[in-house]
Homo-oligomer: A and B are copies of this chain.
Amino acid sequence: MTELERLLAIEEIKRLVARRVRALDARDWETYQACHAPEHVSDFFKDAGDRDAMMAALRAETAGVTSIHHVYSPDIAIRSDEIASGSWTMEDRRYWLQDGDEHWLHGWGFYHETYACRDGAWLITSRRLERTRVEHSPGSKRASST
């Protein structure tokens, strides 16, 4: 792999992750799913299983919720022409109605991801969320996952 190819791979992975978080907040599930390899595992949905199980769990968890996900300062390491890993600083917000009142969650942390290149396109193969802090509205009944 040349240095130019490495830079191209890094830029493609940054765009992949940008698409992932925008598709999540726009509830564009087709795009969201296409960002992930079939064997993808997210730690917060790991009991669910692979990508397709994650999609079902995610649709259920985000129903009736407005979400805002931000990702900052990527540190992408290309391990080979088929394998890469990356860390991102993240922040998320969620808003929903509960017993007629708006409730919210506001969280911060780091995403640790792995990526694979398949047929020339990079895909996400795993994601782990390391939390720094989570705040909830008083009386919130939602968990801090996702």
* A interface residues (Cβ-Cβ under 8 A, vs B): 3-4, 7-8, 10-11, 14-15, 17-19, 21-22, 25, 66, 68, 70-76, 87, 89, 91, 93, 95, 108, 110, 132-133
Interface centre among A14, A68, A72, A87, by most chain B C-beta atoms within 10 angstroms, is A72
Copies of this polypeptide in the complex: 3
With A4-B4, A70-B73, A70-B89 known, 20 other A-B pairs at CB within 8 A are: A3-B4, A4-B7, A7-B7, A7-B11, A14-B73, A14-B74, A15-B76, A18-B73, A18-B74, A18-B75, A18-B89, A21-B89, A22-B73, A22-B75, A22-B87, A22-B89, A22-B110, A68-B108, A68-B132, A93-B108
Q: How far is the CA of A75 from the CA of B72 in the complex (A)?
A: 13
- A7 contacts which chain B residues (CB < 8 A)? 4, 7-8, 11
Main secondary structure of the interface of A (DSSP, over half): strand
Residue of B11, B91, B133 near A95 (CB, 8 A) is B133
Residue of B15, B25, B132 near A25 (CB, 8 A) is B132
**Residue pair B87, A18 in contact (C-beta under 8 Å):** yes
